Amino acid sequence: MQIFAKSIDDFKTDRKGMSPPLPIYLRIVPMLFYLTIAASILLNGLFFMRYIQAGKNKETALIRDTQIQADLDGAKKQRKDLESETMQASDIAAWLNASRPLQPLVVEIARSIEDDSSIIELRLDRDADNPTQIRFSMRLSSDSAHQLDVTLKKIAALRFRTFSPQQTMEKGTIDYKATLIWLDANREQAEPAPGS
């Protein structure tokens, strides 16, 4: 098939001197483009490395936090145990302080017994709520009430007052029960006398 020259227009122009070449400073643009791609790859790599490092640091911090919490719980438990022991020790100390008058009381009761009498049974019960009151019961083998009077005088000399005494005598034995109230001299001096 033959094409006639007159029916086709030729738009092709001469290429010589069509546009001037790019200036030198614009030749940097493609280099900057490739450098930007390389820098973004490098920065993304650094970001992921730092992300992995941050995850490891977070796990380490969580483990350390768990360990510190466990240590803190252990310290709280030890403190609670120490406070419990301290409370028990203070209760024992208070009990011992309140039982101090019992020691000389027992010694004086034993010393007050004469040769012809003996103690069959001696019982001292102290209430934890009111340690200055002692439930006192004693059984003596004696033929006379004289021995009981001597013992009660010795008890009174130790600043004990008897309250609601009960005495029974049977065939050479004397049963005596009373509540002994210890009169603390320090407390009496601290409390004002009635009517003053």
pLDDT digits (tens, 9 = 90+) for 53-78: 999 999 999 999 999 999 999 999 99
Residues of the chain with pLDDT under 70: 1-22, 98-101, 128, 184-196
* Same domain (yes/no): 111, 90: no
Domain's final residue, options 77, 99, 121: 99
Regarding pTM above 0.85, the answer is no
Give pLDDT, residue 99. 67
* Same domain (yes/no): 88, 108: no
* Same domain (yes/no): 112, 87: no
Domain's final residue, options 43, 75, 99: 99
**Domain that residue 60 falls in:** 22-99
- The number of domains in the chain is 2
Give pLDDT, residue 194. 46
Give pLDDT, residue 195. 45
Q: Can you list the alpha helix ranges (DSSP code H) found in the chain?
A: 28-99, 102-112, 146-157, 185-190
Domain's final residue, options 65, 84, 99: 99
* Same domain (yes/no): 110, 186: yes
Domain membership flag for residue 14: no
- C-alpha–C-alpha distance, residues 46 and 103, integer Å: 83
Domain membership flag for residue 35: yes
* Same domain (yes/no): 104, 186: yes
In sequence order, the 6+-apart residues with CB closer than 8 A to the CB of 175 are: 137, 138, 139, 166, 167, 168, 169
Give pLDDT, residue 193. 45
- Please give the backbone phi and psi of residue 185, each rounded to the nearest 5 degrees, phi first: -65, -35
Domain membership flag for residue 10: no
Domain membership flag for residue 13: no
Give pLDDT, residue 86. 93
* Same domain (yes/no): 121, 162: yes
Q: Can you tell me which residue has the tokens 């919490």?
A: 69
In sequence order, the 6+-apart residues with CB closer than 8 A to the CB of 119 are: 109, 110, 113, 138, 139, 140, 141
Give pLDDT, residue 50. 95
In sequence order, the 6+-apart residues with CB closer than 8 A to the CB of 98 are: 126, 131, 132
Give pLDDT, residue 156. 85
